């Protein structure tokens, strides 16, 4: 009898013990696509790295329940179309991108695979987006644009250059498009109210930047607004260096290497956390058509006093008191 009880008990152990391992092995694998304009190392320490970190906090880990299919253009925008085609052929559950421009490349290749923009300048001007509350297509995510932010950057520039009358706006390629027109319209309206003339300039290469800054100095530009996009973001260090060389006060929409004189930017940590939440919700069955496009709740003013000294500017005390961060 004792032997029989022992055999039954052992059989029970054999039946019960492997179940957790079986359920673990059967865990759903989610497939995430990612399209980046920079190099793999830059993206892994930037947008992609932050996305994966935030997804880990939501319970996803590469190799356990997450497969990541990533493609990187290594700074060459001509490669993006082919890379987008590769990703679409792999049919991931979601494709994440860092900008509206990259989302546009993917939208030309698929209207079915959900696309999440992690921190786009704007999304509401995209053809597939019906409105912010209900996008209606396969694109959703986080949008940084609002008309108010465009005007506030001009106001910041005017605080440090009280007689400000001439401002250049710098952007990389592509330069035109619905998103650009949206941002330009809001900036032009604010500039008219403030009595400022705005001129828009673009570049492709570092050599273009050298010529542009030399031209801006000859034109008598008194300040610069720097509008980020995937192309420009690859050149932020060079831009920050040239603003100091030509003693040109600039307001940036995103913090780069920390050398920027003034930055008025959404709290990107907050924005990227929300971007990961979009990916999570779509993994769990939500439709991108029904997920409202999000906008940041927190904006940060960052002032760099070391750069101000190099340019020969005195930052008003009223601005320093309102700054969220002051770099000495």
Q: Which domains does the chain have, with CATH numbers?
A: 29-144+268-290 (3.40.50.2300), 147-267+299-327 (3.40.50.2300)
Q: Are 154 and 184 in contact (CB under 8 A)?
A: no
Residue 76 CA to residue 53 CA, distance in Å, equals: 26
Say what the pLDDT of residue 2 is: 45
116-125, 195-204, 307-316: least confident range: 116-125
Say what the pLDDT of residue 257 is: 78
Confidence of residue 9 (pLDDT cuts 50, 70, 90): very low
Mention every residue, 6+ apart, whose C-beta is less than 8 A from residue 177: 101, 104, 125
Among 76-80, 144-148, 309-313, name the most confident range: 309-313
Instruction: Please determine, for residue 116, whether its predicted confidence score (pLDDT) is greater than 90.
Output: yes
Say what the pLDDT of residue 125 is: 85
Phi and psi for 112 in degrees, rounded to 5?
-110, -45
- Compute the average pLDDT of residues 225-238: 88
Say what the pLDDT of residue 1 is: 45
Instruction: Please determine, for residue 21, whether its predicted confidence score (pLDDT) is greater than 50.
Output: no
Nearest to 118 by CA among 132, 102, 107: 102
15-19, 30-34, 53-57, 296-300: least confident range: 15-19
Angle at 204 between CA 199 and CA 206, to 5 degrees: 100
Q: Are 282 and 60 in contact (CB under 8 A)?
A: no
63-72, 187-196, 206-215, 228-237: least confident range: 228-237
Say what the pLDDT of residue 181 is: 86
Say what the pLDDT of residue 175 is: 65
Angle at 315 between CA 312 and CA 318, to 5 degrees: 165
Choose between 113 and 122: higher pLDDT: 113
DSSP state string for 218-277: HHT--EEEE---HHHHTTHHHHHHHHHHTT--EEESS--SS--SEEEEE-HHHHHHHHHH
Residue 302: cis peptide before it, omega within 30 degrees of 0: no
- Compute the average pLDDT of residues 23-52: 88
Residue 255 CA to residue 267 CA, distance in Å, equals: 10
Say what the pLDDT of residue 16 is: 44
Where does residue 296 fall: left (phi above 0), alpha (psi -120 to 50 degrees), or beta otherwise? beta
8-17, 195-204, 239-248, 307-316: least confident range: 8-17
Longest Cα–Cα distance of the chain, Å, equals 102
Confidence (pTM): 0.81
- Compute the average pLDDT of residues 88-96: 98
Q: Are 226 and 137 in contact (CB under 8 A)?
A: no
């Amino acid at each position: 009898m004792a032997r029989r009880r022992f055999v039954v008990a052992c059989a029970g152990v054999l039946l019960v013990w492997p179940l957790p391992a079986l359920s673990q092995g059967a865990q759903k694998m989610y497939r995430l696509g990612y399209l980046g304009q920079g190099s793999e190392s830059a993206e892994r320490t930037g947008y992609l790295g932050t996305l994966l970190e935030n997804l880990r906090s939501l319970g996803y880990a590469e190799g356990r329940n997450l497969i990541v299919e990533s493609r990187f253009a290594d700074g060459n925008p001509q490669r993006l179309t082919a890379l987008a085609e590769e990703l679409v052929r792999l049919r991931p559950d979601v494709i994440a991108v860092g900008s509206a421009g990259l989302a546009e490349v993917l939208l030309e290749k698929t209207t079915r695979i959900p696309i999440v923009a992690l921190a786009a300048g704007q999304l509401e001007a995209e053809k597939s987006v019906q409105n912010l509350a209900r996008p209606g297509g396969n694109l959703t995510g986080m949008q940084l644009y609002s008309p108010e932010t465009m005007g506030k950057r001009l106001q910041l520039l005017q605080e440090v250059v009280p007689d400000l009358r001439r401002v250049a706006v710098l952007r990389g390629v592509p330069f035109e498009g619905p998103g650009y027109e949206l941002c330009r319209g809001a900036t032009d309206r604010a500039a008219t109210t403030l009595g400022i003339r705005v001129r828009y300039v673009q570049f492709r290469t570092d050599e273009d930047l050298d010529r542009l800054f030399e031209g801006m100095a000859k034109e008598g530009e008194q300040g610069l607004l720097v509008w980020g996009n995937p192309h420009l973001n690859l050149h932020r260090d060079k831009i920050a260096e040239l603003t100091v060389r030509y003693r040109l006060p600039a307001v940036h929409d995103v913090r780069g290497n920390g050398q920027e004189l003034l930055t008025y930017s959404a709290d990107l940590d907050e924005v990227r956390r929300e971007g990961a939440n979009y990916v999570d919700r779509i993994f769990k069955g939500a439709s991108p058509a029904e997920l409202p496009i999000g906008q940041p709740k927190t904006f940060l003013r960052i002032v760099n006093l070391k750069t101000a000294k190099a340019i020969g500017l005195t930052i008003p005390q009223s601005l320093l008191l309102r700054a969220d961060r002051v770099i000495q």
